[in-house]
């Protein structure tokens, strides 16, 4: 069963699980910009994204998802852009300036196979694989993952941050938002990627300040307490579905 928040409002529906990095980006963006929406909690560990109401609404069976009248969207970047256009959010999020917008687009294109491709792996190694399989992986596997992430972080600092407060200059954009939610994932399992990286740490502080520290902490509460989920019951069908992926990661 979905847990509904703000259920009295009609219209825009956002299907989210805040354990998911892209879901946190959508949630923060909507809340920060005072966009009215109905929060539909899709619990990933219970397999709610694979069946029932959500499975019918979104055949891709993934979160985040948006439903606005007859429109449905299932990709976080598309959802963020749609919200920015429809609700005419402040220009800095997705700038009208052609060159600044191109910089946001450039980062978002790079993001998926670099920051997103590497930052979430620590969570799988330290928490999710043991949770799903009952087996732990050797420390060498985590080190391998962190070494790969370090390469992406170096590129992020040198190419995208440089000496700027934010990726596109003096104000936060969708690029910063998508980046920070991914980089909080390893923090949740005790891998402090900001330690000994003063430029990255300062950028994180700037992003938190721009978003609002209370909203930032609210959105990340689940991931920062991820170890409390060690006794959660995993949906058997979800375990079966993820088995091939987990076996590949355990090699």
Beta carbons within 8 Å of 90's beta carbon, 6+ residues apart: 33
Looking at residue 240, what is its pLDDT? Answer: 67
- For the whole model, what pTM was predicted? 0.90
Looking at residue 2, what is its pLDDT? Answer: 42
pLDDT per residue of the chain (251 residues) written in tens, 0 to 9:
344 444 344 599 999 999 999 999 999 999 999 999 999 999 887 766 667 778 778 888 789 999 999 999 999 999 999 999 999 999 999 999 999 999 999 999 999 999 999 999 998 888 888 877 778 888 999 999 999 999 999 999 999 999 999 999 999 999 999 999 999 999 999 999 999 999 999 999 999 999 999 999 999 999 998 877 666 666 666 666 666 666 666 56
> Measured between alpha carbons, how far is residue 35 from residues 5, 6, 26, 31, 61 in Å?
14, 12, 11, 6, 24
Q: Does domain 94-250 have CATH number 1.20.1050.10?
A: yes
Looking at residue 250, what is its pLDDT? Answer: 59
> Measured between alpha carbons, how far is residue 159 from residues 98, 163, 175 in Å?
19, 10, 13
Q: Domain spanning 12-92: which CATH class is it, in words?
A: alpha beta
Contact 59, 72 (CB under 8 A): no
| b/e 129-164 (16+ beta carbons within 10 angstroms → b) | bebbbeeebeeebbeebbeebeebbeebeeebbeee
| b/e 67-99 (16+ beta carbons within 10 angstroms → b) | bbeeeebbebbebbbbbbeeeebeebbbbeeee
Query: Domain segments of the chain: what residues?
Result: 12-92, 94-250
């Amino acid at each position: 069963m979905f847990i509904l928040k703000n259920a009295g409002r009609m219209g825009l529906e956002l299907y989210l699980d805040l354990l998911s990095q892209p879901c946190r980006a959508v949630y923060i963006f909507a809340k920060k910009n005072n966009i009215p929406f109905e929060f539909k909690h899709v619990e990933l560990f219970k397999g709610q994204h694979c069946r029932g109401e959500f499975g019918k609404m979104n055949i891709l069976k993934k979160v985040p998802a948006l439903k606005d009248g007859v429109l449905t969207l299932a990709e976080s970047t598309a959802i963020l852009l749609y919200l920015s256009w429809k609700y005419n959010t402040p220009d800095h999020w997705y700038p009208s300036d052609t060159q600044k917008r191109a910089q946001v687009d450039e980062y978002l294109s790079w993001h998926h196979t670099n920051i997103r491709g590497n930052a979430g792996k620590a969570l799988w190694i330290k928490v999710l694989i043991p949770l799903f399989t009952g087996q732990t992986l050797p420390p060498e596997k985590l080190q391998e993952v962190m070494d790969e992430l370090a390469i992406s972080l170096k590129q992020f600092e040198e190419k995208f941050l440089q000496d700027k407060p934010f990726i596109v200059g003096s104000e936060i954009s969708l690029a910063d938002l998508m980046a920070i939610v991914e980089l909080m994932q390893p923090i949740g399992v005790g891998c402090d990627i900001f330690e000994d990286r003063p430029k990255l740490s300062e950028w994180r502080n700037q992003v938190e300040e721009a978003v609002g520290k209370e909203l930032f902490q609210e959105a990340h509460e689940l991931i920062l307490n991820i170890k409390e989920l060690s006794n959660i019951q995993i949906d058997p069908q979800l375990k079966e579905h993820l088995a091939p992926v987990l076996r590949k990661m355990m090699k």
